């Protein structure tokens, strides 16, 4: 049976973005939920990946931090231009792959993590 983590652990509480955190925003407040997911479905989709993320980050925090820093360098390397060359297009195409690979690894979707990383290399 699953249980709640102690609130002293920062990973126990979900964080959501504010409206002005988005690059493109209309400036109007987000409407209240209109089709909320049932709790049973939410738990089915999140408990196991959350569990794996906690266990993985318990033992590999330093490595995850390093990989996160490295993944963050990719967008810095991509030069956006009106007429990108083939290399530039490829770099833009895979811009989210390092983050996706790292997240999939964190939550235990290892095959998908390897697949994302394979596209990045």
Decide if 4 contacts 11 (C-beta within 8 A): no
Higher per-residue confidence, 28 vs 7:
7
User: 36-74: per-residue pLDDT in tens?
Assistant: 999 999 999 999 999 999 999 999 999 999 999 999 888
Structural tokens at position 89:
């297009």
Distance from C-alpha of 17 to C-alpha of 25, rounded to nearest angstrom: 12
Structure confidence at residue 118 (pLDDT): 65
pLDDT digits (tens, 9 = 90+) for 9-30: 999 999 988 877 877 777 778 8
Residues 8, 1: Cα–Cα separation, whole Å: 21
The structure's pTM equals 0.78
Is it the case that residue 80 has pLDDT exceeding 70? Answer: yes
Contact between 2 and 47 under an 8 Å Cβ cutoff? The reply is: yes
Phi/psi for 14 (5° steps) reads: -80, 145
Helix segments in 39-121, DSSP class H: 39-59, 61-71, 74-77, 86-93, 97-106, 110-120
User: For residues 43 and 2, is the Cβ–Cβ distance under 8 A?
Assistant: yes
pLDDT for position 120: 58
């Amino acid at each position: 049976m699953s249980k709640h983590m102690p609130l002293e652990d920062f990973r126990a509480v979900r964080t959501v973005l504010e409206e002005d955190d988005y690059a493109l925003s209309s400036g109007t407040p987000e409407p209240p939920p209109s089709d909320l997911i049932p709790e049973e479905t939410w738990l089915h989709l999140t408990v196991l990946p959350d569990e794996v993320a906690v266990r993985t980050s318990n033992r590999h925090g330093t490595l995850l931090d390093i990989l996160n820093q490295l993944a963050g360098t990719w967008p810095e390397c991509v030069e956006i231009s009106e007429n990108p060359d083939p290399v530039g297009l490829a770099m833009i195409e895979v811009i989210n792959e390092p983050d996706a690979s790292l997240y999939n690894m964190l939550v235990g979707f290892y095959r998908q993590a390897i697949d994302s990383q394979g596209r990045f290399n």
